[in-house]
Amino acid sequence: MSKKHKQIPAPQPDNRLQSLIRSIVTLKRPSPEELAHCTRAEKYRRLREHNGQARNRLLHWINEHGLSDEVIRVSEPTAFNTLFVEGTRHAINELAHAPDVLHISEDSDITTDLPRIDERNAQTPQSVDQSREDEEG
């Protein structure tokens, strides 16, 4: 008698990890009154420190809520009240409930009035100068 062994399928990668998105997380800032008496250098230092503490709280919150495997990257803090986060859609949506988070935008939602340069149509320095002359003339 031979025993049949069941074939166990190989584990499949989590589909959520296949569609990572990049987002911009806007954090709460200290009140203007708190910063009003600060010199420029002191304001910069305080904002950077505040955002570093907010980032640490966010990382702790991510860990507490079991999202560590879904949040791939959280940028370092700066004096600006934004962090760049890369993760699954599920994790990014959940971050809206985290402390200090005011708003989340996918980076594709951010628009500027800067033109996109297509490599095929990129202007050379000479053609840029010519364009300026045409506008002035």
pLDDT in tens, 97-115: 999 999 999 876 555 555 6
CA angle 121, 126, 130 (to 5 degrees): 90
Higher pLDDT, 22 or 136: 22
pLDDT of res. 102: 95
Q: Dihedral through CA 101, CA 24, CA 81, CA 78, nearest 10?
A: 130
Query: For the structural domain made of 16-110, what CATH number should be given?
Result: 3.30.70
The whole-number average pLDDT for the span 52-80 is 95
Q: How would residue 127 be classed by pLDDT, with cut points 50, 70 and 90?
A: very low
For the chain, the domains span 16-110
